[in-house]
Structure 1
Amino acid sequence: MCALLWRGLLIQEGGIKLGTGLAQRLCSHPRYVRSSRRSQGVPVMGLELAPQDYPKVIRDEDFAEQLHGHTVKDPYRYLEDPDSDRTCQFVDSQNLLTQGLLDKCQSRSRFRDLMRDLYNYPRYGCPRHEGNRYYWNFNSGLQAQAVLQTQRNLDEDPQVLLDPNKLSDDGTVAFMAKDGSATELPDKLENVKFSSMAWTHDGKGLFYNTYPKKLQSQAGELGTETDANINQRLSFHVLGTSQAEDPVILAIPEHPEWMIGAEVTDDGSYLLLSISNGCEPVNRLWTCDLTKLPTDSSRGSLDLKDFDVAEGKHRLPLTKFIDNFDASYSYVANNGSEFFLHTNLLAPRYRVVKADLSQFGGPDNFTDVVPHHPQDLLQWATALKGDNMVCCYLRDVHHVLQLHALSHQQLLQDIPLPGLGSVNAFSGSRKHAEFFFKFVSFIEPGVIYRAELGDGHVQPSLFKRSTVKGLQPEDFEVRQEFAKSKDGTMVPMFIFGRKGFQQSSCNPLLLYGYGGFNISLEPSFSVSRICFILAFGGVVVSTNLRGGGEYGLEWRAAGSLHNKQNVFNDFQACAEHVIHQKYTCPAKLISQGGSNGGLLVAACANQRPDLFGCVLAQVGVMDMLRFHLFTIGHAWMSDYGDPGKPDDFDVLYAYSPLHNVRVPEDGHQYPAMLLLTGDHDDRVSPLHSHKLLAELQYQLAGRTNAAQRNPLVSRIEVRTGHGAGKPTEKVIAEAADMLSFAAEVTDSAWVRC
């Protein structure tokens, strides 16, 4: 997907050819002014950086390794240690540089004010009916974290059950309440990470995961550790006891990278164990009959001390229902030993099957309850009271809800949705006839519907609706279009902006992508994107690249392992499409991605620097030769490959952002780049962003005669991790910094009155 760099012709391969008038306007844009002006010291734009403006970063040129016949330099290996003096100095100097640039962003304070104003709207979670009460999360607007509320019936005023905002001064403590209920207890569990939380139905015991090695960095601070997380264990805790008494009931030391997910069935009779090895959508499924385990008569709880494998005691009596990694299996419901499972076995777009655990003879004995659909992706299924089950399909990247029979093949009815969007929350159980679901879209912040099963047609009714002050969904417009990728694959994308927005090459455009780990980018509401549209007259595009789960296993496989380059081709094709259709131009095109999406936009910046005016890479995986060595990185080999294998290494080395920074030809530049990371990110360690940033600054701006003037900087957040649970004020500040930076470097004026 190589294209001609911009040499005044503005011609790209792949059928894109920009008109003369547009070429004249873009060539006068500051980003494309010839370097003669720069040599005279005339500023091109306020955020321009000269080589001497960057901090001096220590570079160890002698550090190199021989890997599969390649000499691979790693001059910034020392930045892998988060506690070293050199790393701390690097972080401080880079943050100082970045803050100086952000202070020059003319729209920064206005964007922050606008976002704070629009973010201040009530946000409701789906009520969950447990026992004789309802539980739901609620954020009044600018609270750092959502509050867990409860009420006996839906007509009375709710009461606060748990307020995490009181657990820390800066709002960085968050919680998740499974099954919608929570309470504060004196019990304290430590060393818990990537954990299940599976309660016994008596509410007295909890299955959870730990690691044998204490989680902490050399400085002793949680969240900054980089050691590989291996040998996960499953423990059992009885309320009112010390964690030191908790037995380790399952460990798999012969497979240190396997992970154990625990779940208790709806009837409380079985413990289900989902055993995974990486992020591929496959797992083993083991079961344990809890009714046959001993109990502690004094506490009335399970007594599993005799199954403490750490003490060399008896092994937990397990039935290895599925004991291979051929497909994925997730629990939907059970009637005694008859189980209903959501699976992709012989069904790349998934199906629901039933099988009797007591008479199980292998997958050949599965009976279809909801058969595989050739076009629509069956994302999930939830069993309700009686013989009912709600199924959620993804159809061309928007959701469809249906009510099915649980015991046999029968579609009972479609459940109407208000438009093209997604059901991002659902609440229902086999104990109750009512259920709730939350619908969102790119322009709808959240509508919660309540429905009740009966003899007739199920008709959802409005329960709660979130509204943003001064905004109406009808003020905006969403279009779905398809880009043709390099190999001819049609790649969907959603394009949205103000109602009736013009297709103009002057539009600033935010292009977002992910493309990996079987994750689908469904329609979702984002205040920061709405602010971008309002503040700068912008257009936002959300892409659905291969590697994701939008069209099932084949779509995922086409963008994974040795096919990973397809993801970058897809994203570049989407960029070319919006340029060709005159939604924007390269100078105004801003790419954004986080985590695996951070890898995406960084790799595309290396491969096609001519396509983008700005790159926002959040918490990205940037060193593809060493990602597997840190925290949970070994689990990503299912998508990326194993750098220890020669064939995988060659593929990884060819696109690794860290190892493919190249000076563009003829004195041209990389787009402005802002790398964002958190110093407590224990998923994708900040070392990835640190090393790439140092390499970018050295390769592109490390010489006095370097042409690079577009800034190459990072924003390193303190006391935050990978993103989930980030307090509201930090969300607002990060968005304001990112998008005001992007507006400044793309010369996008503030247009909101």
Structure 2
Amino acid sequence: MYRHALVAIACLMSTTAAVAQTIAYPETRTVPQVDEQFGVKVADPYRWLENDVRNDPQVAAWVAAENKATDAYLSTLPGRDIFKRRLTALFDYERFGVPNREGGRYFYSRNSGLQNQSVLYVRDSLTGPGRVLIDPNGWSKDGATALAEWSPSKDGKKLLYSIQDGGSDWRKLRVLDVDTGRILDDQIDWVKYGLTASWAKDGSGFYYSRFPTPEKGQEFQSQNLNSRLYFHKLGTPQSADRLVHERPDQPKYTLSPSVTDDGRWLVIGIDGPGNHAEYAVVDLTKPNDRPRTIINTDDVDWGLSGAKGNTLYFTTTQGAPRLRVVAIDLTSPTPTPREVVAEDKAVLGGANLVGQRLFATYLVDAKTEVRRFTLDGKPDGTIALPGIGTVGGVGGDLDDNEGFFAFSSFATPTTIYRYDVATRAVTPWAQPKAAFDPARYDVRQRFYTSKDGTKVPMFIVRAKDVTGPAPTLLYAYGGFNIPVLPGFSPGRIAWLEQGGVLAVANIRGGGEYGKAWHDGGKLLNKQNVFDDFIGAGEDLIAQGITGKGQLAIQGGSNGGLLVGAVVNQRPDLFAAALPAVGVMDMLRFDRFTAGRYWVDDYGVPAKEADFRNLLAYSPYHNVKAGVTYPAILATTADTDDRVVPGHTFKYTAMLQSKDIGPKPHLVRIETRAGHGSGKPTDKVIEETADLWAFIAKWTGMQVKPIGQ
């Protein structure tokens, strides 16, 4: 059953006549669900859409109906096929991952161009021929089963790898014999959020953390509690694995292992609510040694950088909001952090120990610098980078004579470089050749003023011949201390080639300027994030970079929340909006899967002050009838078990139920996909073509085949 809405779709170019088109939105049933908290009654008429699409036929039918309506509309967009053809050409280039050297061998990923999943290779020497170890492209017919994370043993003879199916956060671990290519019988289930595992030095097995087996039917929605750390000995079943550590007193704590390069110490990282951080160590040279806590803090960030002998190196915000490097002597009766590299005006993004040196990655106005130090903290130069861009960090081991890093920028495809620690030489190891000319594009950074007077940086990317107001895509994230840095995307090049502008705002809530910048955009300060983003849009128009009616916005996950919130607060500012896999119901986010981890940024809905703050900006609860909204194409995946799709389902149903103007308010729901990782290349291309065609329509972009 459908509710028919007549939607007048007008091209934003004044010379083009309006075209009327009918969109058939599915009729979404409502339920009389009203919750009362702190004297406030909150309606939740679409609560039933939280149910798992795998188990609820009514939700599955709703998904099918919404996709049918969306597909019907998208098929009318003239730029869709042009974007798809061009995106296919732009994605069709050879690309590599950063190599991992173990046992004299080099392990790395490679994609020939349009392969749905990257293939894992190994070389027996730096310049030797590559040999395929794992090709996941035959694992499923739809290409949605991915080789996720992987880790070679220290001798390079075994490879631990994880399998991700349909984009889920769950992982299945397997072990490969590198010499023969044989997959061993070992299998580990119910591991989540990446490869939380670390090999024993002798390769006899590995340490890993996992969650208990969930109840049947709740695998993709229930909270993840009671993380435990085990040791798996090769050749034995998972049921025989030895429990190393657990915290039954704190079911919300998550454990992760790391064995030091010399194999002596097992370092156990423990994260909990309230930004609680603990580190415990086990001396692996002592049989039956028990974990000993060396760090136990709240509201302090810690990151393990490496070890030399009995000394562990960490980055931390303890006494340093922009982070510093400290060392802890494990032989001390009372291990205490000792400063190695002091806090700097720039923000320390991370540090690694390679070749008896410490390499620290700094952010200077969201641009990367890599500085080199001796292990006692003396400055020892920098790494010469090929330009302004982003380096993820120098990878390698303490005793290696070389390290590898990836460098990219908005118009520079990711290039892998080798760094010789002794000579300081930087040489390309894998340099891609994409089907576009980087010299055509200009990247600039400007600072604008937010509502409260805060100066916020923003990158502006466009072709050098684009002048005056142009269709513009504004992107941001604004949360969880995550900086948004210059990086390459072939999808964005397709937008820029059509004369579009890309703007990336480094708003508060991220990690661009350290703890203060993050704190300024979380909890009761979350409105600053929305004000910063709105300010970015206003600045783009004021500066003549874009015009009113030409501004589209995009954000994913926490950024999807951002887009949903600002559309409610300033619907007049934007022509189109693309909220992806967003957290849209801020009163119930902590009840599903990973949601409990987010209370440190968002607050606890069961606490009154947090509840009232969350209700004030929750996208689902603040859609305003009687106001003209921009065109909206929300995206999610039916099997996303990070931000469960019920968030976007409910938000879409609410949009479609309200009188918010004639523009389309649709949802695109991917099947057999999750929060983003592991998505096949063909699905990425199809989705991006749909998104760009949608916002091109509503920003007035005239899409033409490239070369015309």
TM-score past 0.5 threshold:
yes
| Structure 2 equivalent of residue 100 of structure 1 | 72
1:480-503 alpha-carbon deviations (Å, 9 max, x no partner): 01121000001111100112421x
Q: Does 1:109 align with 2:78?
A: no
Assess if the C-alpha contact under 8 Å between 2:370 and 2:383 holds in 1: yes
Aligned match of 2:562 in 595, 600, 606?
600
Q: More deviation in 166-175 or 472-481?
A: 166-175
Instruction: State the match for 1:7 in structure 2.
Output: none
Aligned-residue offset at 1:269: 0.9
* Match among 688, 697, 704 for residue 647 of structure 2: 688
Residue identity opposite 1:416 in structure 2: A
1:19 alignment partner in structure 2: none
Cα distance in 1 for residues equivalent to 2:603 and 2:508: 16
Match of 1:698 in 2: 657
Once the two structures are TM-superposed, the CA of residue 194 in structure 1 deviates from its matched residue by 2.5
Structure 2 unaligned blocks of 5 or more: 1-8, 160-175, 177-182
Task: State the TM-score, normalizing by the size of structure 2.
Answer: 0.91
1:309 counterpart residue number: none
Check the 8 A contact 2:274/2:600 in 1, yes or no.
yes
Rounded to whole Å, the distance in 1 between the matches of 2:184 and 2:38 is: 53
Q: How does 1:154-165 map to 2 (within 5 A)?
A: 154-165=126-137
Task: Flag the structure with higher helix content.
Answer: 1
Deviation at 1:279, TM superposition (A): 8.2
Residue 209 of structure 1 is matched in structure 2 by 209
State the Cα deviation string for residues 332-359 of structure 1 (Å, max 9, x = none): 2323322222111101111111221221
Taking a change above 3 Å as real, the CA distance of residues 438 and 236 of structure 1, as seen in their structure-2 partners, is same
SS at match of 1:97: helix
- Classify 1:31/1:339 alpha carbon distance in 2 versus 1 (closer, same or farther; 3 Å): same
Matched, 1:409 2:362: no
State the partner residue of 1:342: 315
1:614 to 567, 570, 576: 576
Aligned: 1:359 with 2:322: no
- 1:456-535 correspondence runs (5 A): 458-469=424-435, 471-502=436-467, 504-505=468-469, 507-534=470-497
Matched ranges for 1:138-537 at <5 A: 138-174=110-146, 175-178=148-151, 182=159, 183=176, 184-194=183-193, 196-214=196-214, 217=217, 225-278=220-273, 280=275, 282-293=276-287, 317-359=290-332, 361=334, 365-373=336-344, 375-386=345-356, 388-406=357-375, 408-424=376-392, 426-454=394-422, 458-469=424-435, 471-502=436-467, 504-505=468-469, 507-534=470-497, 536-537=498-499
Which amino acid counterpart does residue 239 of structure 1 have in structure 2?
A: L
3-state SS of the aligned residue for 2:64?
Answer: helix
| Secondary structure in structure 2 of the residue aligned to 1:142 | coil
Asked if 1 retains the 8 angstrom alpha-carbon contact of 2:277 and 2:302, the reply is yes
Deviation, 1:328, is 2.4
Aligned to 1:15: none
1:81 corresponding residue in structure 2: 51
Contact 2:578-2:691 at 8 Å conserved across structures: yes
1:476 partner letter: Y
Aligned residues: percent identity? 39
- Which of 19, 22, 26 is matched with 1:55 structurally? 26
566-575 or 343-352, which moves further after superposition? 343-352
Report if aligned partners of 2:389, 2:408 keep a CA contact under 8 Å in 1: yes
C-alpha separation in 1, matches of 2:287 and 2:634: 52
CA distance in 1, matches of 2:76, 2:665: 15
User: Normalization by structure 1: what TM-score?
Assistant: 0.86
Choose 1 or 2 for highest CA Rg: 1
**Which residue does 1:748 correspond to in 2?**
701
**SS in structure 1 of the partner of residue 62 of structure 2:** helix
Q: Match of 1:587, SS?
A: coil
Point out the more displaced range, 161-170 or 579-588.
Answer: 161-170
Structure 1 runs of 4+ aligned residues shifted over 4 Å read 28-33
CA contact (8 A) 1:279 1:517 kept: no
Which aligned pairs between 1:581-592 and structure 2 lie closer than 5 A?
581-592=543-554
Q: Partner of 1:36 in structure 2?
A: none
Aligned to 1:712, which of 657, 665, 670? 665
> What is the rounded CA distance, in whole Å, between the counterparts of 1:524 and 1:139 in structure 2?
18
**8 Å CA contact 2:82, 2:703 repeated in 1:** no
CA distance 1:179–1:395, change in 2 (3 Å): farther
Tell me by how many angstroms 1:278 deviates: 4.1
Query: In 2, Cα distance between the equivalents of 1:644 and 1:543?
Result: 32
Contact (CA 8 Å) 1:477, 1:500: kept in 2 or not? Answer: no
Q: Deviations over 1:296-342 (max 9, x none)?
A: xxxxxxxxxxxxxxxxxxxx611110123242222223233222221
- Runs (5+) with no aligned partner, structure 1: 1-27, 34-41, 295-315, 702-707
Residue 216 to residue 529, structure 1, CA distance change in 2 (3 Å): farther
Amino acid aligned to 1:399: T
Letter in 2 for 1:209: S
Deviation sequence 1:417-476 (CA, Å, 0-9, x none): 11110013532111211111111000000222212122xx5121222211102x222111
Change (3 A) 1:255 1:561: same
Aligned to 1:649: 611
Q: State the Cα distance separating 1:30 from its structure 2 match.
A: 4.6
Q: Distance in 2 between matches of 1:292 and 1:360?
A: 17
Shift of 1:291: 1.3
Equivalenced residues, count: 667
Helix, strand or coil: the match of 1:190? strand
- Larger strand share, 1 or 2: 2
Match of 1:578 among 520, 532, 540: 540
Residues 279, 639 of structure 1: 8 Å contact kept: no
Question: In structure 1, what is the Cα distance between the partners aligned to 2:394 and 2:380?
Answer: 19
Q: CA deviation at 1:550?
A: 0.4
Any conservation in 2 of the 1:693–1:714 contact (CA below 8 Å)? yes
Output the aligned Cα RMSD: 2.0
Distance 1:149 1:122 in 2: 14
Matched letter for residue 400 of structure 2: H
**What CA deviation, in whole Å up to 9, does each residue of 1:217-264 have, x standing for no partner?**
36xxx6xx2111111222221111111212333222221111111111
Separation in structure 1 between the aligned mates of residue 77 and residue 341 of structure 2, nearest angstrom: 54
Cα gap change, 1:384/1:279 in structure 2, threshold over 3 Å: closer, same or farther? farther
Q: CA 1:681 to 1:615, structure 2 compared with 1: closer, same or farther past 3 Å?
A: same
Q: 2:685 aligns with which of 721, 725, 732?
A: 732
Kindly tell me: are residues 215 and 744 of structure 1, through their superposed partners in 2, closer, same or farther at Cα, counting changes over 3 Å?
A: farther
